[in-house]
Structure 1
Amino acid sequence: MCGIVGVVSQAPVNQLIYDALLLLQHRGQDAAGIVTEQDRKFYMHKAKGMVRDVFRTRNMRALPGNAGLGQVRYPTAGNAYSEEEAQPFYVNAPFGIVLVHNGNLTNAQELKQELFLTDHRHINTDSDSEVLLNVLAHELEKISRGITLKPAEVFAAVKNVHKRIKGSYAVIALIAGHGLLAFRDPFGIRPLCVGKSGDGGVMVASESVTLDGNGFDLLRDVAPGEAVFISEQGEMQFQQCAETTRHKPCIFEYVYLARPDSVMDGISVYQARLNLGKTLAKRVISTVPPNQIDVVIPIPESSRPSAMELAQILGLPYREGFVKNRYVGRTFIMPGQGVRKKSVRQKLNVVASEFKGRNVLLVDDSIVRGTTSREIVQMARDAGARKVYLASAAPPVRFPNVYGIDMPTPQELIAHDRTLDEIRESIGCDALIYQDVDAMKNVIGALNPKLDGFDASCFDGVYVTGDITAEDILRLNQGRDQVEEGEEDTSRLALPNSLNA
């Protein structure tokens, strides 16, 4: 999961891209990068770390130009410890191209062999984004050989890219001296939208909140399989470049990944989470009578809308029982699981008066590994709770994700091959209530009936691209970044949106 942005303007864009990346920081905290273009020359700075740490005044001054790209990275494949894999990526031929990518190519290894043996292109990292860049560069080179590059040729190259690559991808690329290109995979798994400012500037970004926060009006989402080319003057051309498309965005964006103030594929993320709270309330009633619950408490942050709606429907008090310390940095040396647990308590503290002597219903957005849930339930008991019930706004996560979320291997998933009671015992709560898969799809899908459905593969095991086998999952899991003993991994997916934000 990453956050990407591209801008074409009549004024310098370095500060604009920086501000956009701050609004996308929740999508990745591992690395950040910006590239700008002036007089057909690219200026780039990228490094590991968060946006505010990667870019200093001297770095910003060295990023001139009226067009550029940016990315915040959360690694899902490749080497998380290599600064070389921070984006954007650059290739010098044809024209000079820089690219940022959100998603995950499921056939990256085969493509890497093709690029070396057939296209005679060298890949220098383990990143699938560098593979994608070289496929695009090769197709542009074939199409444009001997002719002037125009939007029609760019779109033809994207058509060939769609034929070669598989998986999920939202892509923004800058072609030196020509303009900015953005395109989305034929299923629209990862998000991408376009906006325009009053002075004619154009921005393409992962989430609409990026446009809102920088004074751009949301025009629309890039459709599945569609490409948009933006000239250096800000003129936009759209074209469908995939032979067949189905609009099935990742449902986990609405459950957990995206900011609540974003609108993605016509669906308000905040409203989607309210709707999840409504259906979750029905599940709670069938498991724990509301008169046995004294208070509803969310586990910060993204569960709050669902918890508030659930509490209102059940007629129960809603309270903030956990306070998050936003200024605890990454703990670099974690010698064992005991210290790892300590870091959860450093980042999240209880308001003891909300727990003492009460039956509490904790509401979380999702439960993945279960380690954080187990610790939080124990924190509630230590604060004096009589009974601790736990409700998840998402269904059980039983399958790995292959489309750009760093979901653990099946063996690491607490719900994999376990019954509900076995999961409850492992977490240590008095009752465990999960969202229903079909209910989740229905209440979010009702917000935009034009969608063809969702990728909900981590919940139902159905991979929308239709080309994922058990062997593929094993291979992709071998390529994902593993959390080793001694490293911090306190969030449900090791993502920054909750405890690590």
Structure 2
Amino acid sequence: MSDAIKHECGIALLRLKKPLEYYVDKYGTAFYGLNKMYLLMEKQHNRGQDGAGLANIKLDMKPGERYISRSRSVDPKPIQDIFTTINSRFEEISKQNPDLLRDIDYLKKNVGFTGELFLGHLRYGTSGKNGIESCHPFLRQNNWMTRNLVVAGNFNLTNVDELFEVLSNLGQHPKEKSDTVTVLEKIGHFLDVENEGLFKQYKTQGYNNKEITSKIAEHLDIQNILKRASEDWDGGYTMSGLFGHGDAFVLRDPAGIRPAFWYEDEEICVVASERPVIQTAFDLKKDDIKELTPGHALIIKKSGELSEVKINEPTQRAACSFERIYFSRGNDYDIYKERKLLGQYLIPQIIESIDNELDNAVFSFIPNTAEMSFYGMMKGLEDFLNVEKMEAIKALGSDMTDENLSKILTRKTRFEKIAIKDAKLRTFITQEEARDDMVAHVYDITYGTVKRNVDNLVVIDDSIVRGTTLKQSILRILDRLEPKRIVVVSSAPQIRYPDCYGIDMAKMSEFIAFEAAIELLKDKGKAYIIDEVYKKCVEQQNYPKEQIKNYVKEIYEPFTANEISAKIAELLTPVDMKSEVVIVYQTIENLHKACPDNTGDWYFTGNYPTPGGNKVVNRAFMNYIEGIGGRAY
């Protein structure tokens, strides 16, 4: 993606179901779980580089023995930092007595991160808070083992204010108003309620306090806790948690907005945000992995018993389509196919944009995440050219000669590696003019690949959000090749609306499609629509979120997608460009055709899957008009 955006986080949960001695005997190490967690987290580093965290719980520890460990980091390489810190302790032990590294009793009593239950998290900060205190997992501590709670998630809730008020009315005093703290305290509250209810129940049955502690650990109703805690959550989430005594859960939102996959065998149970991560870490086939059902929780009891249970009634599926376009790693079997289709379905628009001059066209991609859609685009162009060849051969009739046939058969689509990103170049100069010049050189080009003033140059990107990098850098450097026309193709549709479910796209001013629509309204003498939409948003700002309508759609309604694309091209073309610039976007219809199981498209269509989404988009528009920065939720 030329416009890098930060996005949803990643989780990894691992439960070792056998005694730790089993893994020493079979795999030769007491650190089987740690090694697998490193793989699960490192293979998801694409999901978060602002910070990372790892928590571990040891089962069946005696009073006075430490049973919860946690390490978090906001180092530039946080995963490596966490595991280097953890491993340094084992290296010290190895120097003293290497045999202790296979002594499970010693390790569990004396060294952290040697338990059976792990929870890892990769974080992108969507609110600008990147300190260590913002890193998951979060910990809610208590002297009662069954009241300890560790939480980490890939989520964003739209109704934090409402939830904060609920907690306040319960008599709590949360330390801050954030969705993470709110979720932690909401689950924690009903965990306390569940504990108190069971304590009273077993007390009346004559059990002593020590016996009651074991009974609570055995019979804690995780399903009931999650049901009561999450009934009023509005947002997208994959929420994971550990309880001090050894139970664990992963809960997914009712619309399936945020992803979660799991696998179980006799040795382990594992959950991650992406399917191929589990496949790689445990050498599995894709059909071995299950997707967590929306609205359901995967509950892992201390006994090792696993169940997938309904917590909230599933709604219409709205799994995030950006996962398929950009966010998830492309080595997932289905995502790879879908990204290729996204490129392939653009062929009619591409052919039209170059006036069917396929012989005078060079195709490439903007590094690096658009590479798979580029393959699909080239496959589509090959199919298109083959049809043209067949028609041309048929048209030869009696004029067919070896020379004429050879001329037809040797026609090929031309593709080149055009843009090269110089990852080492840093724009350290602070003066604005000089810095802009440096930004323009972050990418470099392959010279001699385009016939000057003859060829169309077509480059595919996976999405265009702000367009800043295109205007400041990419279009300028492509123009040095002096093509007749530069066509920038987006495998995603126009991004028109803010996200409020975990992606860092929160302000209307960040979207070049929105800027284009606003300019078109002014150009066409329809600026009054802007004022009307603002008034409608203001009028309903205090309505319950369930009654709020997305009026921002009216900003786009007077124009076709092609009109907005043309205006975007005008806005993004640098003033000194020699080449004509055309911008082509994916259609909503073809997006759904390519990614049929991930139909969540609210950032393209404004069709939010939860009521809170409409509240957020209207607030974002009001913030834009009022000149207020920051998120709208």
Aligned to 1:242: 312
Counterpart position of 1:490:
none
Secondary structure of residue in 2 paired with 1:468:
helix
Distance 1:343 1:72, change over 3 A: farther
Q: What residue identity is the alignment partner of 1:47?
A: S
CA distance, structure 2, for counterparts of residue 157 and residue 330 of structure 1:
49
* Mapping of residues 439-454 of structure 1, within 5 Å: 439-445=590-596, 448=597, 454=599
User: 430, 438, 443: which is aligned to 1:342?
Assistant: 438
Aligned: 1:373 with 2:470 = yes
Cα distance change of structure 1 residues 131 and 353 upon mapping to structure 2, 3 Å threshold: farther
Is 2:48 the partner of 1:35? no
Match of 1:314 in 2: 381
- Asked if the contact 2:354–2:456 (Cα under 8 Å) also holds between the matched residues in 1, the reply is no
Return the alpha-carbon distance in structure 2 between the equivalents of residues 181 and 307 of structure 1: 39
Distance 2:370 2:236 in 1: 26
CA contact (8 A) 1:46 1:87 kept: yes
The TM-score, its normalising length taken from structure 2, stands at 0.69
Answer yes or no: is the 8 Å Cα contact 1:420–1:432 preserved in 2: yes
Counterpart of 2:494? 396
Cα 1:320–1:81 change in 2 (3 A) is: same
Q: Distance in 2 between matches of 1:458 and 1:323?
A: 29
Q: Is the 8 A contact 1:103 1:403 kept in 2?
A: yes
Aligned pairs (5 A) from 1:46-445: 46-48=72-74, 49-60=76-87, 61=89, 62-77=112-127, 79-93=128-142, 95-124=147-176, 127-147=178-198, 148-150=216-218, 153-196=221-264, 200-215=267-282, 217=284, 218-262=288-332, 268-292=334-358, 293-315=360-382, 316-325=413-422, 328=424, 336=432, 339=435, 342-343=438-439, 345-346=441-442, 348-355=443-450, 357=452, 358-374=455-471, 375-418=473-516, 419-428=564-573, 430-445=581-596
Q: For residues 481 and 71 of structure 1, do their structure 2 counterparts lie closer, same or farther at Cα, with a shift above 3 Å needed?
A: farther
Q: C-alpha separation between the residues in 2 aligned to 1:276 and 1:334?
A: 39
SS in 1 for 2:114: coil
In the TM superposition, residue 241 of structure 1 has moved relative to its aligned partner by: 1.0
| Structure 2 residue matching 1:469: 3-state secondary structure | helix
Change beyond 3 A, Cα 1:338–1:440: farther
Deviates more, 1:362-371 or 1:283-292: 283-292
CA-CA distance at 1:317 after TM superposition: 2.6
Distance in structure 1 (CA, Å) of the matches to 2:498 and 2:337? 26
Alpha-carbon offset, residue 223 of structure 1: 0.6
Question: Conserved in 2, the CA contact under 8 Å of 1:255 and 1:393?
Answer: yes
Q: CA deviation at 1:390?
A: 0.7
1:385–1:151 CA distance, 2 compared to 1 (3 A) = farther
**Higher strand fraction (1 or 2):** 1
Q: Which digits, 9 at most, give the CA deviation of each residue in 1:312-357, with x for residues without a partner?
A: 222323332233455x4987886647536635744x4322233463
State the identity as a percent.
Answer: 25
For 1:228, what is the secondary structure of its paired residue? Answer: strand
Matching residue's letter, 2:510:
E
Report Cα offsets for 1:221-250 as digits up to 9, x if no partner: 111010011134543111011134332201
Shift of 1:214: 0.6
The aligned runs of 1:4-43 (5 Å cut-off) are 4-9=11-16, 10=18, 11=20, 12=31, 13-38=33-58, 39=61, 41-43=67-69
Question: Which of the two has greater helix per residue?
Answer: 2
Q: Secondary structure at the match of 1:416?
A: helix
2:143 corresponds to 1:45: no
Q: Contact conserved, 2:508 with 2:620, CA < 8 A, in 1? A: no
Q: CA RMSD in A?
A: 2.7
Which whole-Å deviations, capped at 9, do the CAs of 1:285-325 have from their partners, x for residues lacking one?
23323425522111122211211211222232333223345
Could you tell me whether the CA contact under 8 Å between 2:234 and 2:611 is conserved in 1? Answer: no
Classify 1:118/1:369 alpha carbon distance in 2 versus 1 (closer, same or farther; 3 Å): same
Indicate the residue corresponding to 2:524 in structure 1.
Answer: none
CA, structure 1 residues 17+345, in 2 after alignment: closer, same or farther (shift >3 Å)? Answer: farther
CA distance in 2 between counterparts of 1:400 and 1:45 reads 33
For the Cα contact (< 8 Å) 1:182–1:228, is it kept in 2? Answer: yes
Asked if 1:457 corresponds to 2:602, the answer is: yes
Q: 1:337 to 1:305 in 2, by over 3 A?
A: farther
State whether residues 8 and 232 of structure 1, in contact with CA within 8 Å, keep that contact through their aligned partners in structure 2. no
Unaligned runs of 5+ in 1: 483-501
Amino acid aligned to 1:162: S
Of 9, 12, 37, which residue of structure 2 is paired with 1:2?
9
Q: TM-score, normalised by structure 1?
A: 0.86
CA 1:389 to 1:220, structure 2 compared with 1: closer, same or farther past 3 Å? same
- Aligned pair count reads 467
